[in-house]
Amino acid sequence: MRICRDPAEFAALAPAWDRLHRSCPRATPFQSHAWLHSWWLSYGRAGRLRVVLVLRGDGGTGGSGSTGTGGGELVGAAALMRVYRPLPALVPLGGAITDFSDVLLDPAADGDDGGSDEGDERDGEGDGGPVTAALVRGLRQAAAGSVVDLREVPAGAAAERVYARWSGPKRRLADSDCLELPGGPMAGLIARVGSSRGQRIRGHLRKIDASGVEEHDVPAAEVPAAIRTLLRLHTAQWEGRGVTPEHVRPRFAEHLGRAGAAMTRSGEALLTEFRIGGEVVAANFTVLSPTLAGGYLYGADFAALRAARVDLNTLLMRHGARLTAAGRPVLSMLRGAEPHKSHWRPTPAPNSRLLLGTRRALPSLLARRLATAARTRLRELRRRRRN
């Protein structure tokens, strides 16, 4: 086990990280090196990087010296950073703009009890094998007595094995709800909504075909410029209605353009422009894995779409169905419960927040739990007042 604190060494981990990421069946595109390293370049703070690495083979485990792989095979990783407000903690890279957080655990290596160079020492009872145990030790060392605060952990994530293995104070809290639909052709999505609404959707599809709208998948080299177009449309569509502040900041555009280009090259993302008469009237950024296609962010010229009699919701859902028709089992709407999503009768898929501490960190853990409960209560009160 080793801890990487050097951003240059984290950058150099890309090939090994990508191999590990591909080996993890439940990992999402938000655990790719392209997304995490790009996020660090835009949002990271000097001296706070903490990337826990579990290596097997030559130079494999033990100690916290040089972070180069040293000939060892990377079989486990957690990309984290130190924060100090409101209380000291270790949190995942990706921050609030990341829909799913997780650690990476090679399932083949973790299932082989003889594959660890650190023997059979255990940090507590629970699930997981030697890689999980080594990662738990690394998290304890990197946290240095503070809380490990894992936000937006999806059900079935590898981080749940870490949580099960953790000895000492720990808490599981509710986090954001995501919404999911089964992957497959558009006909399957229409069948979910009932005959009356299904007829309206079929009418929307006929109008989309008649409008002459064309889908253009942006090549990797053109993604940064196309992201700027997407964000311009996104900002305009929310004008006067409270756009998410982060979406208009330069660092977000830089991150999404840089990560999007790399993820497009690797097949982990797709930026699609919808054009009428050669003009971009909408753009959509989708994250991709073998198990899901997730609509991350879109922008649209609603005036142009209305003039062409194009229903944006139907247009985007048809696009998502195309991306899952080849075998991806889930079409994810990611976080958020906007009204247009409910029309498709999606299934809620709640994320969890996993708090891991020690006796020394127990006051901090409890304080974070109470702060979370207070924020949740405040949001609920505001929602009731609006209704």
How does pLDDT run across 230-269, given as a tens digit for each residue?
999 999 988 878 788 999 999 999 999 999 999 999 999 9
Q: How confident is the model at residue 111 (pLDDT cuts 50, 70, 90)?
A: confident
- What is the maximal distance between C-alpha atoms in the chain? 68
Which residue in the block uniquely carries the two structure tokens 């069946």? 25
Q: Which of 349, 354, 285, 350 is nearest to 323 (CA)?
A: 285
Q: What is the pLDDT of residue 377?
A: 59
pLDDT exceeds cutoff 50 at 281: yes
Q: Which of 100, 85, 83, 67 is nearest to 148 (CA)?
A: 83
Q: How confident is the model at residue 112 (pLDDT cuts 50, 70, 90)?
A: very low
pLDDT exceeds cutoff 90 at 371: no
Q: How confident is the model at residue 367 (pLDDT cuts 50, 70, 90)?
A: low
220 half-sphere exposure, CB direction, 13 A CA radius: 12
Q: How confident is the model at residue 130 (pLDDT cuts 50, 70, 90)?
A: very high
Within 8 A by CB and 6+ apart from 4, the residues are 10, 13, 49, 50, 51, 52, 53, 67
Question: What average pLDDT does the segment 194-220 reach?
Answer: 95
Q: What is the pLDDT of residue 118?
A: 38
Distance of alpha carbon 254 from alpha carbon 234, whole angstroms? 16
pLDDT exceeds cutoff 70 at 32: yes
What share of the chain has pLDDT > 90, as a percent? Answer: 74
Q: What is the pLDDT of residue 342?
A: 86
Q: Is the peptide bond before 86 cis (omega within 30 degrees of 0)?
A: yes
Helical H runs in the chain? 7-12, 14-23, 33-43, 107-110, 130-143, 159-165, 186-192, 195-211, 223-237, 250-266, 302-307, 312-324, 339-342, 362-386
Q: What is the pLDDT of residue 326?
A: 82
Question: What average pLDDT does the segment 53-61 reach?
Answer: 69
Distance of alpha carbon 296 from alpha carbon 179, whole angstroms? 12
User: How far lies 146's CA from each of 118, 123, 126, 159, 185, in Å?
Assistant: 24, 17, 22, 18, 47
CB atoms within 10 A of CB 123: 19
Read off the pTM.
0.88
Choice between 102 and 359, residue whose per-residue pLDDT is larger: 102
pLDDT exceeds cutoff 60 at 208: yes
CA 26-29-150 angle, 5° bins: 70
Helix (H, G, I), strand (E, B) or coil at 217: strand
Question: What average pLDDT does the segment 31-37 reach?
Answer: 98
Average pLDDT over the chain, rounded to whole? 88
Q: What is the pLDDT of residue 125?
A: 40
How does pLDDT run across 72-81, given as a tens digit for each residue?
899 999 999 9
Q: Helix-strand-coil percent breakdown of the chain, rounded to 5?
A: 45, 25, 30
Residue 183: in which H helix or E strand, if any?
A: none
Q: What is the pLDDT of residue 365?
A: 59
Within 8 A by CB and 6+ apart from 367, the residues are 86, 87
pLDDT exceeds cutoff 80 at 126: no
